[in-house]
Amino acid sequence: MRPVRRGGAMLLALFLGLSVLSGSALAKAPMITPEPLTILFTHDTHDHFLPDAANVGGYTRLAALLKQQRELAAQDTSYSENGRAVITLDAGDFSMGSLFQTVYPTDAPELRALGAMGYDVTTLGNHEFDYRQQGLADMLTSARASGESLPAIVQANYTTPADPDKAVPLMEALANYPVTPYTILELEGHFGAAGGRDSPLRIAVFGVMGLDSHQCAPMSDMVYEPIVDAAKRVVAEIQEKEKPDYIICLSHSGTENGKGEDYELAKAVNGIDVIISGHTHTTLPEPIEVNDTLIVSCGPYTQNLGVLTVSRSGEDGSIKLNSYQLIPIDSSVPADPNMSAMAEAFKDTVEENYLARYGLGYDEVLTQSGTDFITAETGDLIGQAYLSTIQEIEGDAYIPIAFAVAPDGVIRDHIRTGEVTTSDAFDILSLGSGADGSPGYPLVSVYLTGKDLKNAFEVDASISQLMPAAELFGAGCGWTYNPHRMLLDRVIGCSLREEGTGQQIEIQDGQLYRVVADLYSGQMLGTVESKSFGLLTVTPRDENGIPISDLESRILRDRDGNELKAWYALAAYLQRQETVPIPYPSKAEHASWNPVHLLFPMGLPTLLVLATAGLLILAIVLIFCLATRKRRRQGYRP
């Protein structure tokens, strides 16, 4: 090998040393980081234009609070002479929750209100499909036709109809609005990373809807794409084409107990800086941080405004939490005059176009309540209202109802002390629409076998712990359960309460019993089998015991032939009362660790577990005996 000359070696060493120093200097050079960003956010506002019966929330106050927060941001010149960068976002379910929703298809009050309040972007939640595809199409078209400022709508995984030939109006409305997988917000006067202070801050916002949301939209007739698949696809496209400073996901999927669909989304998909998490009505006092993603939720019904400020770390560009707060929207926040005027105008429209057919006014007092009801009491009261109103309508043709059921998932508010108005009654049962397309879920009448009726009570006692929306209340039946017993075998007694006498009547497994529920709850009965691992079934049937596939054929009607809406059955019942009666409780808890109470009466789940445990013990004993015999034989020498 040819030797290296001394002078050449010195030059080489000097070059390498300078290279190392240069590389080190480059490595320590600060990255170009974008300006911090403040996100004002909400989700699950559900048409709450006005404060609720507890004097909380309301768009009228939210509008004033948003203005206040933007003014504070404008005064903060820490990063830019133009103030702090601010955007306003909503994570879906902006509709369905008050009488204002009754003009959702014709007047689009929700989107117009979000636009008037300065929202930049929102997404679609499951309740935006409550009026089915045509209702959503009409709402989008109405909003566009208003000519008013509107928020962008982003949706990446839930805009494909199951039957495109029947969904032409919806596809046209989605395209014309337009609803897109993502949008880019450019904030002029605020600097981004691409060109430093010479380029605007760029924020990418995309939207997804989770699996539980999809399952809670049984009449959407849309194709669901898993949120992780959609998010990976859209984030990759955004990163390749848009070079954003921040990527934000509006996810109508939710978190529960610190986990849930949005937690799994953040865990599985790289590149999302912030997830605004809706659907589960969660209130997160602090963000959940996973995989360099911040997940935030501010609670439903305009109870709070979320305010999140983030920035990028100068070292590795990871997301950094600067500040986070949930600001209560209570009586300390003054109403915004412009939003108050908009609310009053829409209230007049509601009275003229919807309430007139019922002969009711928006603020008409139906009765008085001497106390605040909890959800269970409200649910049992709803069941009693169904029984009473249907009996009055059917008159001599009335067929006794064994059970009138109101699941937790459809109860959106509860009775409070003082005057109970039309709007209060509607708010309690505000969801959905019927086969006629008019607002409000109608009541349906079906038959269940005694066995399926008992299974429904077991759903309440067992599955509702895993799925709170499945908790049952109502009137006509009563059941007792032991929460310490085996899952899916917790009901220890149930019976019918005979109308008029209150006498307890044993439920016969093979007998058919008339049951009344709202249309949505009836359509969700089919999920019982999957949620109970196939051990429980609740099959709606007709008078002859034949299973029903089309629940809309079982819709109850008033004397004029119109659909009997669940909310109106409640309102009509309350209007007949001088004061709101305290209902008879539908269920009772009997908690006991007594071994006899834990095992008897013994249902199939407990029997299967005991049989499995017995077989396992028997197998262990046999293995032990065989092993002992083998050792003895090996130790024996004749």
Q: Which CATH architecture has domain 37-328?
A: 4-Layer Sandwich (3.60)
Instruction: Give the pLDDT of residue 197.
Output: 63
Instruction: Give the pLDDT of residue 20.
Output: 42
pLDDT for residue 14 is more than 90: no
Q: Give the pLDDT mean for 390-406.
A: 96
Instruction: Give the pLDDT of residue 54.
Output: 87
d(CA 477, CA 489) in angstroms, rounded, equals 18
- Correct CATH for 369-589 of 3.90.780.10, 3.40.50.12500, 3.10.450.50, 3.40.50.300: 3.90.780.10
Cβ atoms 404, 494 nearer than 8 A: no
Q: Give the pLDDT mean for 474-479.
A: 96
pLDDT for residue 119 is more than 60: yes
What is the pLDDT confidence band of residue 437, given thresholds at 50, 70 and 90? confident
Q: Give the pLDDT mean for 247-260.
A: 96
Question: Where are the chain's structural domains?
Answer: 37-328, 369-589, 598-628
Which tokens belong to 556? 């109850």
Place of tokens 């009473």: 388
pLDDT for residue 29 is more than 70: no
pLDDT for residue 467 is more than 90: no
Instruction: Give the pLDDT of residue 459.
Output: 87
d(CA 131, CA 139) in angstroms, rounded, equals 9
- The 10s digit of each residue's pLDDT in 69-115 is 999 999 999 888 889 999 999 999 999 999 999 999 999 999 999 99
What is the pLDDT confidence band of residue 530, given thresholds at 50, 70 and 90? low
CB atoms within 10 A of CB 620: 10
User: Which residues pair with residue 512 across a beta bridge?
Assistant: 449
Provide the whole-model pTM.
0.85
Instruction: Give the pLDDT of residue 528.
Output: 72
% of the chain at pLDDT higher than 70: 93
What is the pLDDT confidence band of residue 636, given thresholds at 50, 70 and 90? low
d(CA 107, CA 109) in angstroms, rounded, equals 6
- The 10s digit of each residue's pLDDT in 290-343 is 999 999 999 999 999 999 999 998 778 899 999 999 999 999 999 999 999 999
Cβ atoms 117, 66 nearer than 8 A: yes
What is the pLDDT confidence band of residue 196, given thresholds at 50, 70 and 90? low
d(CA 223, CA 464) in angstroms, rounded, equals 27
- Choose from 35-44, 536-545, 626-635 the range with maximum mean pLDDT: 35-44
Which residue in 591, 595, 605 sits closest to 458, CA to CA? 605
Instruction: Give the pLDDT of residue 16.
Output: 39
Would you list the DSSP string of 313-351? -TTT--EEEEEEEEEE-STTSPPPHHHHHHHHHHHHHHH
Q: In the predicted model, what is the mean pLDDT of the chain?
A: 91
Q: Which residue has the higher pLDDT, 526 or 167?
A: 167
% of the chain at pLDDT higher than 90: 78
What is the pLDDT confidence band of residue 31, given thresholds at 50, 70 and 90? low
